[in-house]
Amino acid sequence: MKAPILVVLAAGMGSRYGGLKQIDPIGPNGEIILELSVFDAIRAGFEKVVFIIKHEIEKDFKEAIGNKLSQYIEVDYVFQDITKLPQGCEVPEGRVKPWGTAHAIMCCKEAINAPFAVINADDYYGQDGFKSLFNFLTTSTNEDEYAMVGYVLANTVSEYGSVARGVCCIEDGKLANVRELTKIEVHGENIEHSTDDGSTWETLDKDSLVSMNMWAFKENVMERFESRFIEFFNEEVATNTMKSEYFIPVEIGRMLKQGEVEVKMLSSNDKWYGVTYQEDKPMVKAGIKKLINEGKYPQPLWK
């Protein structure tokens, strides 16, 4: 079996956050969240990482982290280009927004030749998740079996604005469906979501497991995403030309519904940290500092 690859979604420009949060120092010694993730991945056994970025951030990204990490793990880069579409699809006039996370994976087709894990660049996942993903990718022989590490909803929201999450339905240890909710907010003691831009709200179970885009895939998922993109383009882009996005959780949910794949649910006891807004940063910095003080990471990180 080929050695698994780590794929990092780093093409987002951080518009809500106000800057390139992928390369924003968070740790007490200037550590970037992504550094901790790659460090954990290396310890779990990963030997190659593919960064999905935009051309506009290439120089800054490489100077801030890419060149450093290349000393410890094989590094490759893929650019998420909105013009990179299946035959028959063309970018609508005026469209500048990227097509979403599943499209980002499609852009990796030439760089991936093995089973692979997927994470967000700006999320801290903890060590257990990477160990679980690596173990799955090196033991699963069913080409139609994927996996996901879920996180408790209450540990993934922000007090300073809305977030998007894929809420998981689990049956017999496997993912049955993913419900993509794009406007989730903390309202007092409750976590609620809205589908009509805040006119009405529905309370969510705080203990629900949600997708934080920590996946394990086989190579064939890229072909599946590509074939389904045409349907997405013809149906959703036609009605929401400038903003429609092709999300991993949504498309995996559709594959599950049609019985194409199985997704094994993996668990992690680590706390998830993420920076969606600048106001989130102090809490995340305190959490990372605590982990370092507890000896979870060496100082300096790279020796």
Domain containing residue 216: CATH number: 3.90.550.10
Task: Name the pLDDT band for 20 (thresholds 50, 70, 90).
Answer: low
- The pLDDT of residue 105: 96
Decide if 299 is inside a domain: no
- The pLDDT of residue 17: 43
Percentage, residues of the chain above pLDDT 70:
96
Asked if pLDDT for residue 93 goes beyond 50, the answer is yes
Decide if 198 is inside a domain: yes
Strand runs (DSSP E) across the chain, as ranges?
5-9, 48-53, 74-79, 116-120, 123-124, 145-152, 163-171, 174-187, 190-193, 202-203, 209-217, 262-266, 273-274
Mean pLDDT, the chain, whole residue set:
90
Query: Pairing state of beta strands 174-187 and 163-171?
Result: antiparallel
- The pLDDT of residue 249: 84
Contact (Cβ atoms closer than 8 angstroms) between residue 184 and residue 193 = yes
Exposure string over 231-254, b if 16+ CB within 10 A, otherwise e: ebbeeebeeeeeebbbbbbbbbbb
The first and second tokens of residue 162, run together, are 């809305």
- The pLDDT of residue 15: 47
Q: Cα(202)–Cα(191) distance, rounded to whole angstroms?
A: 8
Contact (Cβ atoms closer than 8 angstroms) between residue 72 and residue 47 = no
The first and second tokens of residue 12, run together, are 């987002």
- The pLDDT of residue 22: 60
By 3-state DSSP, what share of the chain in percent is helix, strand and coil, each rounded to 5? Answer: 30, 25, 40
Q: Cα(88)–Cα(240) distance, rounded to whole angstroms?
A: 18
Tell me which amino acid residue 41 is. A
Decide if 163 is inside a domain: yes
- The pLDDT of residue 238: 86
Residue 138 is part of which domain span? 5-293
Decide if 303 is inside a domain: no
Asked if pLDDT for residue 119 goes beyond 60, the answer is yes
Total domains in the chain come to 1
Decide if 302 is inside a domain: no
Cis peptide bond upstream of 300, omega within 30: yes
- The pLDDT of residue 301: 92
Supply the pTM of this predicted model: 0.87
Task: Name the pLDDT band for 69 (thresholds 50, 70, 90).
Answer: very high
Decide if 298 is inside a domain: no
- Specify burial of residue 180 (Cβ count, 10 A radius: 0-12, 13-18, 19+): middle
Decide if 301 is inside a domain: no
**Torsion over CA of 268, 296, 288 and 156, rounded to 10 degrees?**
0
Q: Cα(122)–Cα(10) distance, rounded to whole angstroms?
A: 8
Decide if 118 is inside a domain: yes
Over residues 226-248, the pLDDT tens digits come to 999 999 998 899 889 999 999 89
- The pLDDT of residue 155: 83
Start-to-end Cα distance in the chain: 30
| Contact partners, residue 90, CB within 8 Å, separation at least 6 | none
Q: Give the pLDDT mean for 60-83.
A: 92
